[in-house]
């Protein structure tokens, strides 16, 4: 039970982190004039592109697992009630 709870926490936290990074790198592509100086040059347009492209699959996997876990919990609650 503890392991399941820990896994859920890891999934949720990872999804939050990946989502934020996905949005920031997206902005790093479309608004690079703003994001590049704000990140001290660390998030340039090409870097944003690389990260944003590579994040797509992890984002979809994490989102699917997150939705699966949430729906599973709801279904379990309905059955038990």
**The one among 14, 19, 39, 44 contacting other proteins by CB under 8 A:** 44
59 binds other proteins (CB under 8 A): no
Burial class, 29, CB count within 10 angstroms (exposed 0-12 / middle 13-18 / buried 19+): middle
3-state DSSP assignment of residue 18: helix
Residue 15 CB neighbour total at 10 angstroms: 19
Q: Which stretch binds other proteins (CB under 8 A): 5-13, 45-53, 55-63, 69-77?
A: 45-53
Number of residues that bind other proteins (CB under 8 A): 10
Q: Which residues bind other proteins (CB under 8 A)?
A: 29-30, 32-33, 44-47, 49-50
């Amino acid at each position: 039970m503890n392991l399941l709870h820990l896994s859920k926490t890891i999934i949720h936290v990872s999804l939050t982190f990946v989502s934020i990074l996905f949005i920031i790198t997206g902005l790093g592509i479309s608004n690079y004039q703003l994001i590049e100086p704000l990140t001290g040059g660390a998030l340039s347009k090409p870097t944003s592109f690389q990260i944003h492209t590579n994040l797509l699959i992890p984002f979809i996997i994490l989102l699917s697992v997150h939705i699966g876990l949430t729906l599973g919990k709801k279904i379990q609650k309905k059955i038990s009630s």
